[in-house]
Structure 1
């Protein structure tokens, strides 16, 4: 089961399959992919993804990982998280192994609880992750960490992950929700543009999509609201227009 809610502009998507330590099967991957646009449509301006119980996500369900359709469902879900038009925070409340680490790095920011652990032990079982996963790990935590996880199949605890940049903040679910609540007050068009540039490093500076997103910020009502709020010495109220 995946539970979904939106409160004060913050969407919460929770993997709740505790009997399998929140492992992902085809059904849950598809539901996760559906949940992201669902909470955005319900007004979420930031999203928290987390796991129920003591695990964030223990990885792929080995009852299905070798079957037809699993990889497509998994990467569709990860793409939905990465392409969300609002910031996504992973509240890593426990082990995030294999597909769990992939889900965490698909998010824009990661908040790690004391019990958070990351690992991608594919070389021990003969599987492989896609190039995006390898490059994203390197981008977030550096080549040394990526090699430790992928070649040595090491597991990295939260303090080490924080020191290496894989985790952005230390804290529990409440800390992740507080971060998301702060993000939900920021200018949506600016956040969307920043996220687009960060996630699409392959696009040249003159790409029409980038330029359109950039100009949308400068021509927005939110820009004017920011000016008014600064002059009036108050917090701005952005609408994403």
Structure 2
């Protein structure tokens, strides 16, 4: 199942299928797709996604992966994580394999436990990941690491992933939540705009929206926002600004 919860203003999502090492089937892809915007609509300032137990996500549940319905469900979930207008942190607590690696890549930021690793073993099962995943992986890890993962079915351990830029920080779930709380205190409109602009650089196989007009509007919203005025007042009053996303 997919469980959700809260830590202050931070929405928490956990993949919880112990018997399948948190592997994703169509039902869980759809539940993940629905959980992400639901938390944002309830006021989440940032999200943390992790796996229960010692595995982040063992990939696609191979009992049901061979079909268009599952593939569409997976990419709907990934696109939702990619485009939701708040930062998403993947707390990679263990192996992130196949679809699990894709889910971690779809997040905006990644924090990994020391024994976590990333793998995309599509060449071992005759499958493939979409061009967006290849591009995102190559942009984050570099061409060499991407080729190693995709062409040799190698694993990328947490330390090396951190050195290559796939992982932003090393740490556990508590560290991920603490980081999310720091991010949640930042200006929501600025974060929304920055996420949109960054995603526009590597949207590849996904279409996050009418990028030109939407980006211009989001950019203008930041400069005209009450939050920008609040930051100015806070500087004058020598206090921490209290951003409302307006």
Instruction: Flag as ranges the 4+ runs of structure 1 deviating above 2 A.
Output: none
CA distance in 1, matches of 2:162, 2:201: 24
CA distance in 2, matches of 1:115, 1:52: 15
- Equivalence for 1:91: 91
CA distance in 1, matches of 2:202, 2:90: 24
Shift of the alpha carbon at 1:7? 2.7
8 Å contact 1:78–1:103 — kept in the other structure? yes
Aligned length, in residue pairs: 239
8 Å contact 1:91–1:110 — kept in the other structure? yes
- Equivalence for 1:219: 224
- Equivalence for 1:239: 244
For each residue in 1:165-215, what CA deviation from the matched residue of structure 2 results, as whole angstroms up to 9, or x when unmatched?
Answer: 010000000010011001100000000000000001279xx9221111110
SS in 2 for 1:214: helix
8 Å contact 1:193–1:210 — kept in the other structure? yes
CA distance in 2, matches of 1:125, 1:52: 25
For each residue in 1:17-62, what CA deviation from the matched residue of structure 2 results, as whole angstroms up to 9, or x when unmatched?
Answer: 0110000000000000000011101110100000000000000001
CA distance in 2, matches of 1:7, 1:175: 12
CA distance in 2, matches of 1:67, 1:193: 35
Aligned-residue CA RMSD in angstroms?
A: 1.2
Residues 1:64 and 2:64 aligned together? yes
8 Å contact 1:4–1:35 — kept in the other structure? yes
Shift of the alpha carbon at 1:140? 1.1
- Equivalence for 2:169: 169
8 Å contact 2:112–2:172 — kept in the other structure? yes
TM-score by length of 1: 0.97
For each residue in 1:59-84, what CA deviation from the matched residue of structure 2 results, as whole angstroms up to 9, or x when unmatched?
Answer: 00011001341000000000010011
CA distance in 2, matches of 1:68, 1:165: 32
CA distance in 2, matches of 1:144, 1:202: 18
- Equivalence for 2:116: 116
8 Å contact 1:6–1:43 — kept in the other structure? no
